Chain A
Amino acid sequence: MTIRSTKPNHSSFHKYLFRSSIFLLAVAFVGLASGGIAAEIQPARADRRVTRRAIENFTLVDQNGAPFTFEKLAGKVVVVAFAYTTCVDVCPLITAALRQTQIGLGAEERGHVQLLTITTDPEIDSPKVLSTYAKRYGAEFENWAFLTGDPAVLAQVWKNFGVGVKRRARGLIDHTPLTALVDQSKAMRFAYIGPSPDPHAVLADVRALLKQQ
């Protein structure tokens, strides 16, 4: 016959409590660590900056091979993005955000707002390549032009907007991920620097500039 003690076994209970705490702490640590890593590797939203920078006139070539003069956009609000078609980094996000911005514009607003995508890789981005690229994103050419041109002219345009461009290899370009908002008097008023400008923020700023007219 065995005699069982009625006294609660405090030592095993404490061990259980200690082990549980360790386990919970480990789970919390792993959770926080993975959350931290996830937060770290997620591309951040674009940084919005208020600015005032005069933009000089330029003439480039659009997706149809026709000359496109910036001067003719006077009186319109212009959203300018810098991207290139073989980009595997931020450009797909920038172009997708611009498409969302275009979708968000009302019928009347479209007449007063122009979207521009200016290439940072004229070596590859011919008008034909740009046209195919634009169609893949569903871009409507009514108020969105994709521009390329002579590398020397483009270099001047990049400089004008403060965009740095460095060629790493064929079809691999490092460049400032800029989306800029230019007002009716051709001054850059907002700069969104980063991979994913928020279309809602861009639309709000566009509408604010339209009201200023």
Chain B
Amino acid sequence: MERRFACATCVSVSWLSSGQIFLLLLVLAGCGRNERMDLLYAERCMNCHGSSGRGDGILAARLPIRPPDFRETVERKSNNQIRRIIGEGRGTMPAFEPALRPAEITDMLQMVRFLSREGRDIAWWERFDTLVIAHCNIPWETVLGYDDKVDQTKP
């Protein structure tokens, strides 16, 4: 499924104009780990999951179930599965859907992926995760010009 998205991105890019490619690159450039993601993670996740996602936050020891080490669990999960856990919660983990915008949940998902790769050899397909997540968040209608206003004065 994820590979299909990556392929779709390549095919889409092949017939875009230079302006559209520039816009697309601009969107993709903003998809790396950034301060916004770090801040969100620090505010909402770090207390339990720890600063590097190893499940060793300051509250972890007191929770009924210890949070997982991202490096051991995240690789096996799809983006949709992770997004669902973030959005709907699990056990003592809060459901963030009522509190966060979809873009913020995507940022959290990216952070989980980034932290899960630290200190281990990553599989080749994991290198495309960022691209896959970014693909899903590209405002395609804007990039392709579908939401341009129609000039009513023209006959």
Contact = CB atoms under 8 A, between A and B. Distances in A.
Nearest to B94: A86
B63 A92 contact: yes
Interface residues of A, number: 23
Contacts of A86: 94-96, 98-99
Contacts of A124: 98-99
Contacts of B88: 132
Interface string B86-102: 00111111111011100
Nearest to B90: A136
Contact of B89 (A43, A136, A196): A136
A196 B96 CA distance: 22
A188 B94 CA distance: 29
Contacts of B64: 96
Given A136-B90, A137-B92, A43 B98 contact: no
B3 interface: no
Interface residues of B, number: 23
| Most chain A CB within a 10 A radius of its CB, from B59, B90, B93 | B59
Interface string B67-97: 0000000000000000000001111111110
Contacts of B90: 136
B109 interface: no
A170 B59 contact: no
7 contacts: A41-B58, A86-B98, A87-B94, A92-B63, A133-B89, A133-B94, A133-B95
